Amino acid sequence: MSALAKASGALKSVDYEVFGRVQVSHYFPNQYTEQEARKLGVVGWVKNTSQGTVTGQVQGPEEKVNAMKSWLSKVGSPSSRIDKTNFSNEKEISKLDFSDFNTRY
């Protein structure tokens, strides 16, 4: 991933929180987010919160991070309803902090 990321230009990191009806399954809470992240080629994590939101961090080439931000804001998992998505701490980074995208508990 890192060689591909370097070839693709600047690396970005962004934190996110998604509000709405977004915790769709207790048993596979974030499988769709993981699948989309891996499909796009970004790394990071996702976690359900006790407030009913989904939070996490995405890192990767800027255009791939932007694609994931769009998915988190507009698409989400099949039965979710996204009311709003907050992004914070968006910054350029020199290297990725993660090697994959996974769910935290």
pLDDT digits (tens, 9 = 90+) for 86-102: 999 999 999 999 999 99
Residue 13 pLDDT greater than 80, yes or no:
yes
Q: In what order do the strands lie in the sheet with 81-93?
A: 81-93, 11-21, 54-61, 43-48, 101-103
Q: Which pair of tokens denotes residue 74? A: 């507009």
- pTM of the entire structure? 0.85
What residues does each domain of the chain span? 11-91
Q: Which pair of tokens denotes residue 46? A: 């996702």
Return the SS3 of 78: coil
pLDDT tens-digit map of 66-80: 999 999 999 887 777
Q: Which pair of tokens denotes residue 6? A: 């370097």
Pairing of strands 81-93, 11-21: antiparallel
**CATH hierarchy code of domain 11-91:** 3.30.70.100
CB 74 within 8 A of CB 6: no
